[in-house]
Amino acid sequence: MPPYTIVYFPTRGRCEALRMLLADQDQSWKEEVVTKESWLQGPLKASCLYGQLPKFQDGDLTLYQSNAILRHLGRSFGLYGTDEREAALVDMVNDGLEDLRRRCSHLIHHKREEDKAQYVRELPAHLKPFETLLSQNQGGQAFIVGNQISFADYNLLDLLLNHQVLVPGCLDPFPLLSAYVARLSARPKLKAFLASPEHVNRPIFGSRKI
pLDDT in tens, 33-64: 999 999 999 899 999 999 999 999 999 999 99
Task: Locate all alpha helices (DSSP H) within 111-174, ordered by sequence.
Answer: 113-135, 151-166
Give the CATH class of 4-78+191-201.
alpha beta
State pTM to two decimals.
0.94
Q: Is the pLDDT of residue 23 over 80?
A: yes
CATH T-level fold of 84-187: Glutathione S-transferase Yfyf (Class Pi); Chain A, domain 2 (1.20.1050)
Q: Sketch the domain layout of the chain as residue ranges.
A: 4-78+191-201, 84-187
Same topology, domains 4-78+191-201 and 84-187? Answer is no
Name residues whose C-beta falls within 8 Å of residue 164's C-beta, 6 or more positions apart in sequence.
Answer: 170, 171, 181
pLDDT of residue 146: 97
User: How would you class 102 by CB atoms within 10 Å of its CB: exposed for 0-12, middle for 13-18, buried for 19 or more?
Assistant: exposed
pLDDT digits (tens, 9 = 90+) for 77-126: 999 999 999 999 999 999 999 999 998 887 776 667 787 888 899 999 99
Query: How far apart, in whole angstroms, are the C-alpha atoms of residue 147 and residue 152?
Result: 13
